[in-house]
A and B are shown apart, each in its own frame.
Chain A
Amino acid sequence: MSDPIIKIQNMNKWFGDFQVLKNINLEVEANKKIVVCGPSGSGKSTLIRCINRLEEHQEGDIIVDGNELSEKTKDIEKIRAEVGMVFQQFNLFPHLSILDNCTLAPIWVKKMPKKEAQELALDQLKKVQIDDQANKFPGQLSGGQQQRCAIARALCMQPKIMLFDEPTSALDPEMIKEVLDAMVSLAKGGMTMIVVTHEMGFAKEVADEVIFMDEGMIIEKADTKEFFANPKSDRTKLFLSQIL
């Protein structure tokens, strides 16, 4: 068993007086795919936002790729560059073309030559099948295309870990499939992924492990088959009966 790439120990987080995350313990090994599910408000998004420190945790340790995340972490940008993230609302930069969205960070953060960055970006855009839209602006694309572009943008930083925060929740039903397809092919390529989603079909197909969260706690953590075949806690059973 190799060393885990993400290690979370006894982590607690509060928003003001409200405790959003309670005693989280989680280890993720490289190349594993984890799906996090649970009712809304259960802290799933907050959990993965803590992993690249878009949210700060107050207690416990988060260790990403050997670096501990805390106020003392100096090169937080370096760690973030290793961790790609895809958001529910795409969050593309509307003032830049699709290609520039993808090349911005490689050029300015990784100091990649412009030409190389563009080749890389076109390559990644081709993998999600929107290389023909490269010169358009985000506002001219459909939601599904925008989300695929957001995936390509994150991949252009050549991250070790990809975080997905409900990537299909803001999409029309017919566009969900194209985004999921892109994520499935990424998963088959061996990327370490943590995906917050309600798409149980995706979880069954791709995930190694499924985590069920409620009220800021990890209720259940099991292998995918085990999770769907015989969930242990009543809360999980209730959730699965509602969502499947």
Chain B
Amino acid sequence: MQTTNFLKPNRDNIKNYSIIGTFLILVSLIDVISNAFLRINLTSFLPGSLTTLFPLIIGLIGLHMMRIDYSGNKTLDLLNKNINTNNFNAVLTLLILFSIIKALPQSLSWMIFDATISGDSKDACTGTGACWTYIKVWFRRFMYGMYPNEFHWRINTAFILVIALGFVGYFMKENLKKYLALYYVIIYPVIAYLVIYYLISGGSFGLQWVETGAWGGLSLTFIVSFFCLIFCFPLGMIFALGRRSNLPAIKYISICYIEFWRGVPLITVLFMSSVMFPMFLPEDFFMDKLVRVIIAITLFEAAYCAEVIRGGLQSLPRGQYDAAKSLGMGYWKMHIFVILPQALKLVIPGIANTFLALVKDTPLIFVVGLAELAGMLALAKTNPKWLGFAMEGYIFASIIFWIICYAMSKYSYNLEAKYKTER
């Protein structure tokens, strides 16, 4: 029987190696876990810095033992291929693992075990953990802003209606499908606007008028994002086509537009829309601040959309244009049936990117006094009764924004998969 060289693991003694290796890794993990959760230092008998490094060294030796090429064991091969390719990667793996274990107890106890959620005033929050009572008490404000409590049903109903109308496209009959684009680009935004105007603003049908200054919270985030998304896409498409036009006037107008809006920061655009713009308007002409802000963001994001879409248009081979032309299609038929369907499919990831950025830019409207979700947080944290809970608020807002954005990016992946017909 040949002797086992523990410094050079090989296939022949795979059992010995993997058992010893697993054991050593377990020891290192137990040491770290007991240290993190139970605050017991199992290796206190070791001198100074060796105590801290002990789990790392033991774990590294363990991983080294298990690093056998083509071991035949699927789990082991997967492990070696992905996180244990060499000593450096092994150290990184262990460090990441240890950091997570170390951070877990503190964050868990802050967020869950020591946290408070009962009660309805600041006095309830006596623990050392998070004060979710704050979120609970302010929840309606975060969702609806300063909108009067008794009218919240109006916002909910309006949203349900708008979402339902958005799904109409799915259930359209086959012979109406050709009007789908028309519906989503023109009819749907108009209906949505009317629904939101009459239900949320009120002022007629016996509903009390609520001015837009009172709107806020997550619902405002949705309203602003919704209208900006739905308008900036077709507008961007027009400017993308315009920039590639053969007509010099259209081409240079598009270039000027795109370069102007891409060159100015959104925050100045918002200031201009709310402070400067009204000065240029005639005395008796009134345009609501929210509408002005939505128009400003739409124009701003349309420039970005235009460049993304232009990228897609440029990536199409010239042969597609030639083929469409040679079949007798004019400019619009060629673009509607041949060029845009292909180009838009190519730019789904880029468009999703722009849209996500747009949603996350909406908090900027706080600078002109419109408080959507993040804006409401900023107001709430300066409330004298509730000082010192900014952390909870921002975690709450982050989670909500993350959910919205993740859902959007998932949807964009679905679209990509749905329209993948070639290659």
Contact = CB atoms under 8 A, between A and B. Distances in A.
B223 interface: no
Contact of A77 (B329, B337, B342): B329
A92 B323 contact: yes
Interface in A36-86: 49, 52, 54, 77-78, 80-85
B329 A83 contact: no
Contacts of B419: 95
B326 A84 contact: yes
B320 interface: yes
A159 to B, nearest CB: 9
A105 B320 contact: no
B284 interface: no
A129 B317 CA distance: 28
Query: How many residues of A sit at the interface, in one of the four size bands?
Result: 20 to 34
A92 to B, nearest CB: 7
B329 A94 contact: no
Interface in A81-101: 81-85, 87, 89-95
A91 B328 contact: no
Contacts of A109: 327-329, 333
Interface in A102-141: 104-105, 108-110, 137-139
Query: How many residues of B sit at the interface, in one of the four size bands?
Result: 20 to 34
> B322, B326, B419, B421 — which one has the most chain A CB atoms within 10 A of its CB?
B326
Contacts of B213: none
Interface in B317-344: 317, 319-320, 322-330, 333, 337-338, 341-342
Contact of B421 (A94, A150, A153): A94
A54 B421 contact: no
B320 A154 contact: no
B289 interface: no
Contacts, number: 76
Contacts of A150: 323
A218 interface: no
Contact of B337 (A49, A54, A82, A108): A108
A137 B327 contact: no
Given A89-B317, A94-B422, A138-B422, A54 B341 contact: no
B345 interface: yes
A137 B422 contact: yes
Given A93-B338, A95-B342, A85 B326 contact: yes
A52 B338 CA distance: 19
Nearest to A82: B328
Interface string B369-409: 00000000000000000000000000000000000000000
A155 to B, nearest CB: 11
B423 interface: yes
A157 interface: yes
Q: Which 6 A-B pairs have the closest CB atoms?
A: A81-B328, A139-B422, A91-B323, A105-B327, A91-B319, A85-B326
22 contacts: A52-B325, A54-B325, A78-B328, A80-B327, A81-B328, A83-B326, A85-B322, A87-B326, A89-B317, A89-B319, A91-B317, A91-B319, A93-B320, A93-B324, A94-B421, A94-B422, A95-B341, A95-B342, A95-B345, A105-B329, A109-B329, A157-B327
